Amino acid sequence: MHIAWLGKKFPFCGNVTYSREITNGLLDRGYQVSFLHFAQEAAESDRTADSWLWTNDWGLLAREWGLGKGKVSPPSQKTQSPIFNSEARMVCEVPLPYLKKWQIYTIPTFKSRDVLKKSLERLKPDLVHASLTLSLLDFFVLPEVCEELNLPLVATFHPPFDRKLRNLTSGTQHLMYQLYAPFLANYDCTIVFSQIQRDILVELGVPEEKVAIIPNGVDSLKYSPGHSALKSELNADRVFVYLGRIAMEKNVESLLKAWKKAEMGPGSVLAIVGDGPMAASLQMFYGEEDGIIWMGFIEDEERRIEILRGADVFILPSLVEGLSLSLLEAMACGLACLATDVGADGEVLENGAGVVLNPQRVSSQLQTLLPLFRDHPELTTLLGQKARQRVIDRYTLSGNISQVESLYADILAQRQVKKKGLVSY
């Protein structure tokens, strides 16, 4: 089966990780995958849509599509993302032109529709899967193009949320659900990560049968307990870690305030892994004198795994989330985990797999809990074991991909039934 995957390669975020893990998993299971994404090279060029289509066997693809010699050329190595490792097995990569890209939003050019349509016409995939990137393509263009080409269309809907409208950030995210719902009704199916998300979309008018719950998954063999020299490196007896963006919705400052007030002492370290718009300002007030180590954005996955394996406690103080992959990765590595009850994170940690925090009382709760986890290593060990078991039971990448495969098969089967006229509408 050939899947045309519309996703994200940069800037780094959970959407990038999701696309990388699922497409690699599909390739491992023998699927053909083509990857379509917004890329700077496309935005800065006037070349035609033909020039965006490539494969390792470039000459073969060019002949199959009837492209003249010299008319197109494969992209340079510069176009390949260092955090995406599956290009060598891709059928094709298609950069889509854009005008402006931010961490969350993308503004495509007027040519993007033409590039998208011509690419899908030539690729002839069996199904299109869009890991939604919040662009105009999501709303109008993609459903329209897929309908014109009679291609099944699946979406994964990532926007974070809070089950209660407790603050401006969560209210803004709820508006995003309201914005997307009328358009998601035109997709064959939308994947969400939890029952709460499904209920929200159904309440907003997306047909119940068009919303599937398939939680994020993590590779529990790769992300697993193991040796790490982190504590020696940081000269610490106890290591607490936050891994993620340093942005308002992540609520990192509440964690930093709690850490500083808890006076954790010289043997404990809080490692902050990640970067973002609030990093520079927070570093001015919270530093090594408080036992806080700013490690910055770490691209190398093995290094991130080493950090998780060497830590004792993982903390995620977010105001909104979807289903945090960082949380699942920490759980799989056997860390005791504390996360706010937003998105599906509270659901992941319920019934003893971790500690669920109230997003409105993060700082005060952590001020009490941090010394407890510092002084009782047996507690963190027990919670770490329970966290890993929860991942193995419910949130493995293998199980995730199997559910995606099953969804693809169901959608294609339904299409065949409709095509044969066995179902009338």
Contact 140, 166 (CB under 8 A): no
Contact 317, 254 (CB under 8 A): yes
Sheet of 268-273, strands arranged across: 292-296, 268-273, 238-243, 313-316, 336-340, 355-357
Q: What is the pLDDT of residue 356?
A: 97
User: How confident is the model over 373-396, as a mean pLDDT?
Assistant: 97
Domain 2-156+398-419, CATH class in plain words = alpha beta
| Half-sphere CA count of 348, side-chain side, radius 13 A | 36
> In the structure, what pLDDT confidence band is assigned to residue 104 with cuts at 50, 70 and 90?
low
User: How confident is the model over 354-374, as a mean pLDDT?
Assistant: 97
Contact 139, 73 (CB under 8 A): no
> In the structure, what pLDDT confidence band is assigned to residue 162 with cuts at 50, 70 and 90?
low
Picking from 135, 72, 125, the residue whose alpha carbon sits closest to that of residue 103 is: 135
Contact 292, 270 (CB under 8 A): yes
> In the structure, what pLDDT confidence band is assigned to residue 170 with cuts at 50, 70 and 90?
very low
φ, ψ for residue 94, nearest 5 deg: -125, 100
Q: Mean pLDDT in the chain?
A: 85
Which one is predicted more confidently, 45 or 343? Answer: 343
| pLDDT value at 153 more than 80 | yes
Sequence-ordered list of residues with C-beta below 8 angstroms from that of 168, at least 6 positions apart, any chain: none
> In the structure, what pLDDT confidence band is assigned to residue 138 with cuts at 50, 70 and 90?
confident
Q: What is the pTM of this model?
A: 0.81
User: How confident is the model over 137-153, as a mean pLDDT?
Assistant: 93
| pLDDT value at 164 more than 90 | no
Q: What CA–CA distance (Å, rounded) separates 369 from 358? A: 13
User: How confident is the model over 10-37, as a mean pLDDT?
Assistant: 87
Same CATH topology for 2-156+398-419 and 230-395: the answer is: yes
Q: What is the pLDDT of residue 131?
A: 92
Render pLDDT for 56-89 as a digit per residue (tens, 0 to 9): 333 333 333 333 333 333 433 333 333 344 555 6
Which one is predicted more confidently, 134 or 130? Answer: 130
Q: Strand pairing partners for 212?
A: 191
> In the structure, what pLDDT confidence band is assigned to residue 103 with cuts at 50, 70 and 90?
low
Which one is predicted more confidently, 215 or 63? Answer: 215
| Token duo for residue 210 | 């068009």
Give the least confident one: 13-17, 199-203, 391-395: 13-17
Render pLDDT for 183-210 as a digit per residue (tens, 0 to 9): 999 999 999 988 888 988 999 999 999 9
| Domain covering 230-395, topology | Rossmann fold (3.40.50)
Cis ω for the linkage preceding 11 (within 30 of 0)? yes
Distance of CA 424 to the CA centre of its chain: 37
| pLDDT value at 142 more than 50 | yes
| pLDDT value at 13 more than 90 | no
Q: What is the pLDDT of residue 420?
A: 73
Query: Where do the domains of the chain lie?
Result: 2-156+398-419, 230-395
Q: How many helices (H) and strands (E) does the chain have?
A: 17, 15
> In the structure, what pLDDT confidence band is assigned to residue 132 with cuts at 50, 70 and 90?
confident
Contact 159, 176 (CB under 8 A): yes
Q: What is the pLDDT of residue 126?
A: 96
Q: What is the pLDDT of residue 343?
A: 84
Picking from 172, 194, 212, the residue whose alpha carbon sits closest to that of residue 349 is: 194
Task: Give percent above pLDDT 90 in the chain.
Answer: 64
Which one is predicted more confidently, 277 or 16? Answer: 277
Q: What CA–CA distance (Å, rounded) separates 160 from 157? A: 9
Render pLDDT for 38-48 as a digit per residue (tens, 0 to 9): 886 544 443 44
| Token duo for residue 415 | 């299409």
